[in-house]
Amino acid sequence: MEAVRKMVQTLWVFLVNGFWGFPLTRNIYQGPLKVICSPGLNCYSCPASTTYCPLGSLQQLLLGIRFSLETGNYYLGTFVVGSMGLLGAAFGRFICGWVCPFGLVQELLHKIPSVKLPVPKILTWLKYGFLALFVVIFPLVLVDEFGLGAPWFCKYVCPAGTLEAGIPMVLLQPDLKQTIGWIYWNKIGILALFVIWSIVSSRPFCRTTCPLGAFYGLFNRHRLIRLQFNAENCTQCKACHRVCPMGIHFNETPHSPECISCLRCMTQACNFGAISVEVAGYSLLDDALPAKKKTVENP
């Protein structure tokens, strides 16, 4: 299952970054596909990007909301929030585990041999602050003399934007070097921090900072497709605790907003059929569970 997941992740990297004509055009993709929402975190200023980043678009719409209303347009972000919500209500953080390009980058970095450290649980609350403040409130409220705000998360934090767009665009368009300032180097520093942190800890950006993961996590309990905990089959062996890349105790919090549904707990840890996948209440593994448990109890 882990190999399948890696293949799906890789496929999605190329699906949402499918414009390989950029070395010739020295510019970003400007076709009609860019009206489609990228499910995972993928900067739309990345030269290969074929979709829009929901976080970037939402901030852009919110920061210009006054100007939009004054000119008789009602660009309130409903299209973008609707797209994000449809994805969240259907899949929740399955998206983080299966299709997010920056999630894959962190997973690959974590394979580098090193000391491995846990991420302090208290830091997982930070991402909700980034979602509320840097994505919604600051772009909406902190405006200049023309009534325009700034895309705070993209501008000051997002390491995916630096990796996928900031660095490549400076290489593609050398003229941009003249405009580089402290914000750029600040973002390079943040990227370096997360690269190093990803080597020693599992998915630190997803767990502490990603506003998109925070948003999708809100749906984990009520999403269409979710993991199901079959308490009667659980032996409290805690094998699921040991394999979880997000540090979740699945048998204690089966609908944790941190769960990225990578299915490691189900496929690599639990031998008792205590974890399964269900779609809107329909368990995909109901028939298999009693037999599996019986096999374990009476080998």
Partner 1 sequence: MRKKFSPRKGPFALLALFLLLFLAGIALGEPTRVLEQAWSICLSCIGIG
Which residues contact partner 1 by CB under 8 A?
27-28, 30, 32, 34-35, 43-45, 52, 56-57, 60-61, 68, 73-86, 88-90, 150-151, 154-156, 158, 161-162, 165-166, 169-170, 176, 179-181, 183-184, 186-187, 219, 222-224, 280-283, 286-287
Tell me how far, at minimum, the Cβ of 285 lies from partner 1, in Å.
10
Tell me how far, at minimum, the Cβ of 234 lies from partner 1, in Å.
17
> Based on CB atoms, which residue is closest to partner 1, 219 or 250?
219
> Based on CB atoms, which residue is closest to partner 1, 28 or 227?
28
Residue 118's closest CA among 212, 193, 26, 202?
Answer: 202
Distance CA 297, CA 299 (A): 6
Tell me how far, at minimum, the Cβ of 240 lies from partner 1, in Å.
22
Tell me how far, at minimum, the Cβ of 28 lies from partner 1, in Å.
6
> Based on CB atoms, which residue is closest to partner 1, 111 or 175?
175
Distance CA 48, CA 27 (A): 9
> Based on CB atoms, which residue is closest to partner 1, 23 or 113?
23
Q: Which long-range contacts (CB under 8 A, 24 or more apart) does 163-170 make?
A: 163/102, 163/105, 163/191, 164/17, 164/42, 164/43, 164/45, 164/46, 164/49, 164/101, 165/43, 165/45, 165/46, 165/47, 165/49, 168/46, 168/47, 169/28, 169/45, 169/47
Tell me how far, at minimum, the Cβ of 117 lies from partner 1, in Å.
28
Task: With beta carbons less than 8 A apart as the criterion, state whether 269 and 243 touch.
Answer: yes
Residue 202 has phi, psi (to 5 degrees) of: -80, 120
> Based on CB atoms, which residue is closest to partner 1, 200 or 277?
277
Task: With beta carbons less than 8 A apart as the criterion, state whether 266 and 234 touch.
Answer: no
Tell me how far, at minimum, the Cβ of 64 lies from partner 1, in Å.
9
Length of the chain counted residue by residue = 299
> Based on CB atoms, which residue is closest to partner 1, 137 or 172?
172
